[in-house]
Amino acid sequence: MVTRLRVAACQIDSVVGDLAGNVERILAALAEAEAGGADLAVFPELAVTGYPPEDLLLKTGFVTENREALEKIAAATTGHCAAVVGFVDSDRELYNAAAICADGAVRGVYRKRLLPNHSVFDEQRYFAPRTAPPVLYDIAGVQVGISICEDGWDPTGAIAEAAAGGADVVVNINASPYHSGKQAEREAMFGTRAADAVCPVVYVNLVGGQDELVFDGGSFVAGPDSHLIARSPQFVEHTLVVDVEIPSSFRARLADARDRPVAERLEVVAVSESIERDDALLVPPLAPVLDPLDEIYEALVVGTRDYVRKNGFDDVVIGLSGGVDSALVAVIAADALGAAHVHGVLMPSRFSSDHSVTHAEALATNLGIDHRTIPIEPAHRAFLEMLEPSFEGLDPDTTEENVQSRVRGVTLMALSNKFAWMVLTTGNKTESAVGYTTLYGDTAGGFAVIKDIPKMTVYALCRRRNERAGRELVPGSILTKAPSAELRPDQTDDQSLPAYPLLDQLIELYVEQDHTAAEIVAMGYDTDVVARITRLVDLAEYKRRQSPPGVRVSRKAFGKDRRLPITNRYR
């Protein structure tokens, strides 16, 4: 005889602080789970508050209202389907918690034990860890263990603890931010946890953008043989309904399989009774995992869409230079928001080439976005005339060049103010790393879409998007010409910087892998080049602190990940 638990993994896009809206999202997914005949609906970590709520947690009123929102959700569980919902629990401390709801009430609470305090995580600032032993919940005749995100990454943690204590299935709810390759890591890790525990694991993840973080969903069920039983698609809201089989001899086989005593069985709380099922076993096909470049691209689209929409904007404006960076940002924005909501602005100066204008116009035409031309020469000339008495006797340098960038920033912000368009900046990670940006110029805006994308990946993403479209959304001429800021005659980027393939390598080593300059030189790189680039990275820290947030797609992005002092003499 085989028992089965029908589980609905409810992958939703919670919005931080939108308690009422999050209740609606949860109840809508719960109704979908019930319609699918689920015994248990599982929601992401802190689904009620959104993740991460950060210093909202210091407001006692917010914590109180979060509990009131949970009670509304619990009151809706009047059918057969129970629900596991992430929320903030409190007594004298705050806890990252999961409520087990059924029969119109909260039937139990699990509190997270392992609180991550690394990378983008800061949970020890707010939460206290669980100290009491967990309990199991008898749901439809199956004993279910609960765990939250980090608890499942520890090989001796909550999953092993619950399985050794008698769990037939362990649920793990998550708000696991995306970085490139993260889905494969999760599946390998939790497949191993399921195999070690000889127990199926239901992994449910948040989806959507929150400031610079993107949550990619990809919820799944791992079987006790470590193989996936089911998987949700990435980057979209989705309710995955699947039957998880538990053989009747399961616990006896588990006891026999281990070369150690079985731990004392955990307390079991009765939640719901089993029901007879005569329908076919429900096991949906595995949703495919995206190609690595497509995965990054979708993260950029979702992060941009949610940042713009969740902050109350409908439209965006982008300075179109005719270069590859602004081209990629425009394509992403059109995919995220629709072409009708994207406005391009060409702002030629006395140094702009004819091809920059024609390339930008071709891009706008290919995307079907609104575009206009606002020459900046009148403002540029006026600034230079205004400053001439102060600069008398001094040779022109980057000061005069940067005036052009700042005029463009002022122009875009004026359009933003007048039409309520959010300005999307177009700087990439490579340029931001070495300070090849103008503060209050091309860094001025509301959201930096590609701030975590190295220059060579910018090219790769453009080519991949063209390939998917079956035509040139980004004109090929943009992808083949030498990159240039066009702030002086005949300027190209390689006059100021090493070739981008080399520069990207150095930045990955210094920024993402945290090697020192001496360590990088020891790998065989030129001493002078390494010294110059690492010094530029250090000196540009103050610029990055004043730049807008942008989508995080790497293991270490500028922003929440990397927190170096501005005043810093370590070289």
Catalytic site residues? 45, 112, 149
Count of alpha carbons within 13 angstroms of residue 288, beta-carbon side: 5
Burial 28-49, CB ≥16 within 10 A → b, else e? ebbebbbebbbbbbbbbbbbbb
Across the beta sheet with 421-425, the strand order is 370-373, 342-346, 315-319, 421-425, 447-448
- Phi (first) and psi of residue 442, to 5 degrees: -75, -5
Helix ranges, 311-376 (H): 324-337, 354-367
Q: In sequence order, what DSSP letters do the residues of 339-397 get, joined into one string?
A: GGGEEEEE---TT--HHHHHHHHHHHHHHT-EEEE---HHHHHHHHHHHHHHHTT----
Report how far residue 394's alpha carbon sits from residue 181's, in angstroms, rounded to the nearest whole number. Answer: 51
| Residue type, position 537, single letter | V
523-530 contacts at long range (C-beta below 8 A, 24 or more positions apart): 529/498, 529/502, 530/506
The tokens for 191 are: 């497949």
Sign of the CA dihedral running 302, 112, 243, 69 = negative
Three state DSSP letters for 250-291? HHHHHHHHCCCCCCCCCCEEEEECCCCCCCCCCCCCCCCCCC
Do residues 129 and 114 lie in contact, with contact meaning Cβ atoms separated by under 8 Å?
yes
| Residue type, position 561, single letter | D
Beta-bridged to residue 106, according to DSSP, are 101
Which is nearest to 323 in space by CA: 488, 446, 493?
Answer: 493
- Angle at the Cα of 317 from the Cα atoms of 546 and 381, rounded to 5 degrees: 75
Radius of gyration for the chain, computed over Cα atoms and rounded to the nearest angstrom: 27
Report how far residue 87's alpha carbon sits from residue 175's, in angstroms, rounded to the nearest whole number. Answer: 12
Do residues 43 and 27 lie in contact, with contact meaning Cβ atoms separated by under 8 Å?
no
What lies within 8 Å, CB to CB, of 37 at 6+ separation is 6, 241, 277, 279, 282
Report how far residue 486's alpha carbon sits from residue 380's, in angstroms, rounded to the nearest whole number. Answer: 14
How far CA 152 is from CA of 85, 202, 263, in Å, comes to 17, 11, 18
Report how far residue 26's alpha carbon sits from residue 10's, in angstroms, rounded to the nearest whole number. Answer: 8
Which is nearest to 14 in space by CA: 93, 59, 71, 69?
Answer: 69
Which is nearest to 175 in space by CA: 147, 217, 238?
Answer: 217
Question: Running DSSP on this structure, what letter comes out for residue 249?
Answer: T
The tokens for 81 are: 């389907």
Burial 445-466, CB ≥16 within 10 A → b, else e? bbbbbbbbbbbbbbbbbbebbb
